Structure 1
Amino acid sequence: MNRGILPELPVSAVLPVLGEALAGRNSAVLVAPPGAGKTTLVPLALLDAPWLGEGRIVLLEPRRLAARAAARRMAELVGEEPGGTVGYAMRMENRTSARTKILVVTEGVLSRMILDDPELPGVAAVIFDEFHERSLDGDFGLALALDVQGALRPDLRLLVMSATLDGARVAKLLAGAPVVESEGRAFPVDIRYDERPAGMAVEDAMARAVRSALAAEQGSVLAFLPGQREIERTAERLKDRLGDTDIVPLYGQLDNRAQDAAIKPAPAGRRKVVLATSIAETSITIDGVRVVIDCGLSRLPRYEP
Structure 2
Amino acid sequence: MAELPIYSVLPNLLSALGSGPNAVLVAPPGAGKTTTVAPALLAQPWCTGQVLLLSPRRLAARAAAERMAELAGEPVGQTIGYSTRMDSKTSAATRVLVLTEGIFVNRIQADPELAGVSAVLFDEVHERSLDSDFGLALALEAQCAFRPDLRLLAMSATLDGARFAALMQGAPVIESEGRSHPLEMRYLGRRGEQRIEDGMAQAIRTALRDEAQGDVLAFLPGVAEIARAAERLESLGSGIAVLPLHGTLTPAEQRAAIRSDPDGRRKVILATSIAETSLTIDGVRIVVDSGLARRARYDPLAATTRLVTERASQAAATQRAGRAARQGPGVAYRLWEEAATGGLPPFDPPEILDSDLAPLVLQCAAWGESDPTRLNWLDPPPAPLLAEARKRLVALGAVDTGGAITPLGRSIAALPLPPHLAAMLLKGAQAGSAMQAAEIALLLQERGLGGQGDDLD
TM-score, normalised with respect to structure 1:
0.93
Which residue of structure 1 lines up, in the alignment, with residue 196 of structure 2?
A: 202
1:34 matched to 2:52: no
1:96-143 per-position Cα deviation (integer Å, ceiling 9, x unaligned): 100000001111111111111111111000000000111221111111
> How many percent identity over aligned positions?
61
Most deviating of 170-179 and 260-269:
260-269
Which residue of structure 1 lines up, in the alignment, with residue 20 of structure 2?
A: 25
2:45 corresponds to which of 46, 50, 67: 50
The separation in 1 between residues aligned to 2:159 and 2:136, in whole angstroms, is 15
**Runs (5+) with no aligned partner, structure 1:** 1-5
1:215 corresponds to which of 203, 209, 214: 209
Which residue of structure 2 lines up, in the alignment, with residue 284 of structure 1?
A: 279
SS at match of 2:46: helix
In the TM superposition, what is the alpha-carbon distance from 1:163 to its structure 2 partner? Answer: 0.3
1:102 corresponds to which of 93, 96, 102: 96
Which residue of structure 1 lines up, in the alignment, with residue 260 of structure 2?
A: 265
In the TM superposition, what is the alpha-carbon distance from 1:7 to its structure 2 partner? Answer: 4.4
In the TM superposition, what is the alpha-carbon distance from 1:268 to its structure 2 partner? Answer: 7.1
The separation in 2 between residues aligned to 1:269 and 1:280, in whole angstroms, is 22
The separation in 2 between residues aligned to 1:108 and 1:197, in whole angstroms, is 40
1:148-207 per-position Cα deviation (integer Å, ceiling 9, x unaligned): 111111111111100014212211122111111101122232211223345433222211
SS at match of 1:299: strand
Which residue of structure 1 lines up, in the alignment, with residue 84 of structure 2?
A: 90
SS at match of 2:182: coil
Amino acid aligned to 1:189:
L
Which residue of structure 2 lines up, in the alignment, with residue 12 of structure 1?
A: 7
Which residue of structure 2 lines up, in the alignment, with residue 156 of structure 1?
A: 150
SS at match of 2:287: strand
Matched ranges for 1:152-191 at <5 A: 152-191=146-185
The separation in 2 between residues aligned to 1:225 and 1:118, in whole angstroms, is 40
Which residue of structure 1 lines up, in the alignment, with residue 135 of structure 2?
A: 141
Which residue of structure 1 lines up, in the alignment, with residue 61 of structure 2?
A: 67
1:192 corresponds to which of 186, 197, 202: 186
1:222-267 per-position Cα deviation (integer Å, ceiling 9, x unaligned): 1011211111121122124234221110011000001111112344
Amino acid aligned to 1:48:
A
Most deviating of 103-112 and 290-299:
290-299
Which residue of structure 2 lines up, in the alignment, with residue 3 of structure 1?
A: none
Greater Rg by CA: 2
Contact 1:203–1:233 (CA under 8 A) maintained in structure 2: yes
**Runs (5+) with no aligned partner, structure 2:** 302-457
1:249-290 per-position Cα deviation (integer Å, ceiling 9, x unaligned): 001100000111111234474321110011111222212211
The separation in 1 between residues aligned to 2:106 and 2:262, in whole angstroms, is 40
Which residue of structure 2 lines up, in the alignment, with residue 274 of structure 1?
A: 269
Which residue of structure 1 lines up, in the alignment, with residue 418 of structure 2?
A: none
Amino acid aligned to 2:163:
R
SS at match of 1:169: helix
Q: CA RMSD in A?
A: 1.6
The separation in 2 between residues aligned to 1:199 and 1:140, in whole angstroms, is 41
Amino acid aligned to 2:230:
A
Which residue of structure 2 lines up, in the alignment, with residue 79 of structure 1?
A: 73
SS at match of 1:286: coil
Most deviating of 276-285 and 188-197:
188-197
1:224 corresponds to which of 214, 219, 223: 219
1:128 matched to 2:122: yes
In the TM superposition, what is the alpha-carbon distance from 1:60 to its structure 2 partner? Answer: 0.6
Contact 1:246–1:273 (CA under 8 A) maintained in structure 2: yes
Which residue of structure 2 lines up, in the alignment, with residue 113 of structure 1?
A: 107
Higher relative contact order (CA 8 A, sep 6+): 1
SS at match of 1:192: strand
